[in-house]
Amino acid sequence: MSADRIIPFAFESLPVRGALIQMSRSWRRMQREHDYDTLITESLGHAAAATGLIAQSLKFDGAITLQIKGSGALQMLVMQCTGDLEMRGRASVDEGAASARFSDLTENAHCAITVDAGERPYQGIVAIEGEFLSSSLEHYFDRSVQVPSHVALVADENVAGGVLLQQMPGQEMDEDDWNRLHFILQTLTTRDFDGDAGLKLIGKLFAEDDVRIHEKRTVSFQCRCSDQKVEDVLKMLGEQESREALNANGEIEVVCEYCGEKRLFDSVDVSRLFADNVVTGPRSVQ
Ligand SMILES: [Zn+2]
């Protein structure tokens, strides 16, 4: 059984709502075509859990993109999640620059969160500060969205998990309770997310509180690449450049950076792309 899901919940006697995310199969699939080191794996897993939690909190129809860009070893990290909680993501790393800590990895980095719900995309940007992505996201929620939030994120190569707690707008929150919840989240480790832990974990973390659980939602890995999108790129490149890109075997090989799907185009495909009345597609190689 897949344990990849988000469980939303609310506190009965505190003006706080929250959600817990637990990803294993989808998270491993996301790493499959890549060879990330431990620190990058952890950072990407944190981003995956965070992006899923943000998408859940927005309840929208569209896609959200979390993007980290910097001048440290982590050149770029992209994580995307749709309103249906379909996710993909990847990281580009400067192999020469070894980093021991997230703060080195993300030197001078910014995190941009773009919400694209069809009309005008909305983007919020926050500087990456501190040892973890979670603290930067708390700043993002405080400043950009004006919703005081606690964010806890954990990840290793097998699991990406996290909890988001947010104060309800317009309601008075007791400072001690809010701090207590903060300290509870600080105890989270990847081991808490072993196996089928979701519901039990919420019960364990908030044993002192009355928590109402809402219906869980499935999280999945789903790439958004398609033959059509690659063909559009080749069309933008132009016929001459596309022909020049044919390799010794007379093929253009295009590999998706997210899912690793390989698409091959030969000279017949190139002719087809730049002719009218397009009918057939390229060969897909698993
Ligand atoms: Zn893909």
Ligand 1 centroid from CA 30, angstroms: 10
Cα of 50 vs centre of ligand 1, distance in Å, is: 21
Confidence of residue 282 (pLDDT cuts 50, 70, 90): low
9 Cα to the center of ligand 1, angstroms: 32
- DSSP three-state, residue 146: coil
Query: How far apart, in whole angstroms, are the C-alpha atoms of residue 243 and residue 221?
Result: 34
Q: What angle do CA 233, 239, 241 make, to 5 degrees?
A: 75
For the cut 70, the answer to whether the pLDDT of residue 117 exceeds it is yes
pLDDT of residue 96: 74
Q: How far is the CA of 188 from the centre of ligand 1 (A)?
A: 32
Mean pLDDT, residues 51-68 taken together: 92
Residues 186-201 have a mean pLDDT of: 89
> Are 221 and 23 contacting, i.e. CB atoms less than 8 angstroms apart?
no
Confidence grade of residue 19 (pLDDT, cut at 50, 70, 90): very high
For the stretch 147-178, pLDDT in tens is 999 999 999 999 999 999 999 988 999 999 99
Interval between CA 200 and ligand 1 midpoint (Å): 34
Residue 91: its pLDDT value, please? 95
Q: Of 187, 199, 222, 150, which is closest to residue 6 (Cα–Cα)?
A: 199
Question: Ligand 1 mean position to 273 CA, how many Å?
Answer: 20
Distance 26 CA to ligand 1 centre (A): 14
Looking at 20-24, 102-106, 200-204, 243-247, which range is the least confident one?
102-106
Question: Average pLDDT over the chain, rounded to whole?
Answer: 90
Share of the chain above pLDDT 90, in %: 69
- What is residue 8's predicted lDDT score, i.e. its pLDDT? 97
In single-letter form, the type of residue at position 120 comes to: R
CB-based contacts of 282, cutoff 8 Å, min separation 6: 227, 230, 231, 263, 264, 265, 269
pTM exceeding the 0.75 threshold for the entire prediction: yes
How far, in Å, is the centroid of ligand 1 from the Cα of 255?
Answer: 8
CA of 47 to the centre of ligand 1 (A): 18
Could you report the per-residue pLDDT of 239-257, keeping only the tens digit for each?
Answer: 999 999 898 889 999 999 9
Does residue 85 register a pLDDT over 60?
Answer: yes
Distance from C-alpha of 200 to C-alpha of 202, rounded to nearest angstrom: 5
Q: Does position 1 have pLDDT exceeding 50, yes or no? A: no
